[in-house]
A and B are shown apart, each in its own frame.
Chain A
Amino acid sequence: MAAMTQTTGGRPANMLYSVLELILDRGLVIDVFVRVSLVGIELLTVDARIVVASVDTYLRFAEACNRLDLNAGSVGLPELFSEIPEELAEGKTVGVIDGVRRAITEAVR
């Protein structure tokens, strides 16, 4: 059996978990056949998914920003930022929650 290879980056030891959602959520499905119970896996995948738009995340970001001393020098501005509109879309995070919920639903279906 060929060992899984990795061309660039990442940690080989975590490879299985790094691509776990591919093995669990994708791949060919034959709809007349059952899938084994994924009890136990639900926790695994749900835990792995981060919810950006949550109270905890808001507080974590606020505290992380508060810790920053912007006068202590910074890395250069990447050109990427020139592409970001100044106006930040209101209500965008709600969409993120929906997206994550969908992802979870798909993962445990």
Chain B
Amino acid sequence: MTTYIYAVVHAGHPVTVEGSTGVGAPPAALREVRSDDLVAVVSDAPEGLRAKRRDLEAHQRVVESVASAGTALPMRFGTVAPDDEAVRTALADRAERYRELLGTVDGAAEFNLKAADREEAMLRELLIRDPDLRELNEALRARGGGSHDDRLAFGGRVAAAVDTWRSANAERILAELRPHAVRTRVGPAVDGCAANISFLVATNARDGFEESVRRLRGDLSAHTELAVYGPLPPYSFVD
């Protein structure tokens, strides 16, 4: 029976896995695998585990629960070991690194920010700002949109302007929020968002972080929608 791993914690972590379950149908019972001062929260790995909603939710639920109770290293979804003994060996072999990582994320949580454009308002501003772009737009409008090639060339210029605009937006967000974070990680654009940034925020800095988020949200509201998710397990700061 293979072993599914959710998180690594210190032996002193107040985690109680008894009675809790994780991935699989029916959900597998959680247990602990200990090596010296490190503990892995694991369960049996179900046959044919896939990245389906049910198991993604189960993984996240377990990791969230462990991380909210104390310092934890969240595993990437879908990590499977041959058996518990292999987990124990891995903990022992990498103990130094895991202790160091636990120190890094101690007393802090991840907040993931995603910025989305309010497209129409953004494009309007870009046209107002750039007289050339605006004239081009008016000319194409007058010709019922212009030829395919005209629209493609114009659209390409708009896309470049959008890209520059998004970069400036991301810089602004970083400048405002980075001072509140222990670490920052800029992620790929997903789900159509213009900026995707994770912040590792210490518990005592959370109020200041959230206050700055509120201010930013107000300042940028005309053209940008900010969503901030957290506190989350520190996924972005342990890999």
Q: Chain A residues in contact with chain B, CB under 8 A?
A: 1-2, 4-10, 15-30, 32-41, 44-45, 48-50, 52-53, 55, 57-66, 68, 70, 74-78, 80-81, 83-86, 88-90, 92-93, 96, 99-100, 102-103, 106-107
- Contact present for B157 and A88 (CB under 8 Å): yes
* A44 surroundings in chain B (CB, below 8 A): 51
Which listed residue (A22, A61, A84, A99) contacts B168, Cβ 8 A? Answer: A84
Q: In the complex, how many residues of chain B place their beta carbon closer than 8 angstroms to a beta carbon of chain A?
A: 101
B161 at the interface (CB under 8 A from A): yes
Specify the chain A residue showing the minimal Cβ separation from B82: A33
Bound-state Cα–Cα, A90 to B64, Å? 44
The digit string for B200-239, where 1 denotes a CB below 8 A from any CB of A, is 0000000000100110010110110111111111011011
Question: A64-B120, A66-B145 are known contacts. Are A88 and B198 too (CB-CB below 8 A)?
Answer: no
B188 at the interface (CB under 8 A from A): yes
* A27 surroundings in chain B (CB, below 8 A): 63, 74-77, 233, 235, 238-239
Specify the chain A residue showing the minimal Cβ separation from B69: A2
* B137 surroundings in chain A (CB, below 8 A): 65-66, 68
* B231 surroundings in chain A (CB, below 8 A): 5, 7
- Contact present for B76 and A70 (CB under 8 Å): no
- Contact present for A106 and B213 (CB under 8 Å): no
- Contact present for B236 and A26 (CB under 8 Å): yes
Q: How far is the CB of A55 from chain B (nearest CB, A)?
A: 7
Question: A6-B229, A100-B188 are known contacts. Are A1 and B94 too (CB-CB below 8 A)?
Answer: no
* A10 surroundings in chain B (CB, below 8 A): 114, 227-229
CB within 8 Å of A: which B158-195 residues: 158-165, 168-169, 171-172, 187-192
* B45 surroundings in chain A (CB, below 8 A): 36
Bound-state Cα–Cα, A16 to B238, Å? 19
Which listed residue (A59, A92, A107) contacts B163, Cβ 8 A? Answer: A92
B100 at the interface (CB under 8 A from A): no
Which listed residue (B77, B124, B140) contacts A62, Cβ 8 A? Answer: B140
- Contact present for B50 and A93 (CB under 8 Å): no
Which listed residue (A25, A30, A49, A100) contacts B5, Cβ 8 A? Answer: A30
